[in-house]
Amino acid sequence: MTHRLLQIGPITPAVDARLAAEYTVHPLWKEPDPAAFLAQHGAEFEAAATHLRLACDAALFAAVPNLKVLANFGAGYDKIDIDAAHRQGVQVSNTPDVLNGCVADLAMGLLIDVARGLSTTDRFVRAGGWKTGQRPLMTRVHGKRLGLLGFGGIGQEIARRGVGFGMTVRYHTRRPVADTPHEHVESLRDLAEWADFLVVACVGGAATRHLVSADILDALGLQGILVNIARGSVVDEAALVAALQEGRVGGAGLDVYENEPNVPESLLAMDQVVLMSHIAGFTRESRADMEALVGDNLAAYFQTGKVLTPV
């Protein structure tokens, strides 16, 4: 007999197919009244799977009192109440590290694009502007100062790429990271004041909400460039818009936003801003690795009692 698994919402076709093949899956999102279903059947599930965009709050965990494992598709878990899960003895897994390189690639791509005006120059050429003039001088990337807010797996991958460009790298975290040649800066404001480029690569959630405030943006300065490939909540978006409009920050490369998929109209109109659609980990390779890890975490739990990548 296969184990019963509660699937909070659709994940990807590959994950959905593997779960259906290996477990007796109940698709919660197809229930007309999910709360009523859980009130009647929630105690029947030991395992669950979810997508990073779906909320798993304390009420949900309370409704599945015998839950022991929740496999999350995504490195981020800011929509999961981890404290509630742990109080209930639920192991939560995510899919970290497998997308670090791809996210770091996009971070550097955004950094270069904003600094050198790749997207704006592409539009300029397509519109015929080169026939009558030339674009203004832009900013060099190599040899500059790269500041990282967050220095986990993704931050360290970005640092490696920055070193390849001859950049000096410093980072800010709550505590210094061992075994790195890069300098830890205790104050985020001091890091922003020092950096030519400030890349946001920390976790989301209440603890990091609006860490990049108006004050931090002012410290980054009128030549500074902000890149965010973490979570939109980390940056005070209204403050960023104001700083860009008033020329207090040089530019921004954004893959994430406070209210996705809604992007402020004011950002859409700015040539010094490059906008992505939360695609930092969207490559065929990283997607396949993430899909495999969701199933592997569940399989490991049922085989050994422990997930592979616990949160």
Q: Is 260 a catalytic residue?
A: yes
Q: Is 278 a catalytic residue?
A: yes
Q: Is 231 a catalytic residue?
A: yes
Give the Cα separation of 155 and 230 in Å (integer): 10
User: What was the pLDDT predicted at 39?
Assistant: 97
CB atoms within 10 A of CB 60: 25
User: What was the pLDDT predicted at 311?
Assistant: 94
Contact status, residue 112 vs residue 118, Cβ threshold 8 Å: yes
184: CB partners within 8 A, 6+ apart: 151, 170, 171, 172, 173, 176, 177
Catalytic residue among 44, 183, 260, 285: 260
Q: Are strands 168-172 and 183-184 parallel, antiparallel or unpaired?
A: parallel
Report how far Cα 238 is from the mean position of its chain's Cα atoms.
20
Catalytic residue among 26, 86, 210, 278: 278
**Residue type, position 15, single letter:** V
Q: Show the DSSP H helices in 23-116 as ranges.
A: 34-41, 58-63, 82-87, 100-116
Average pLDDT per run of 10 along the chain, which is 311 residues long?
92 97 97 97 98 94 98 92 97 95 98 98 98 96 98 97 98 97 98 98 93 98 98 97 98 97 97 97 94 98 98 94
Region of 136 (left: φ > 0; alpha: ψ -120 to 50; beta: rest) is: beta
Catalytic residue among 170, 231, 258, 291: 231
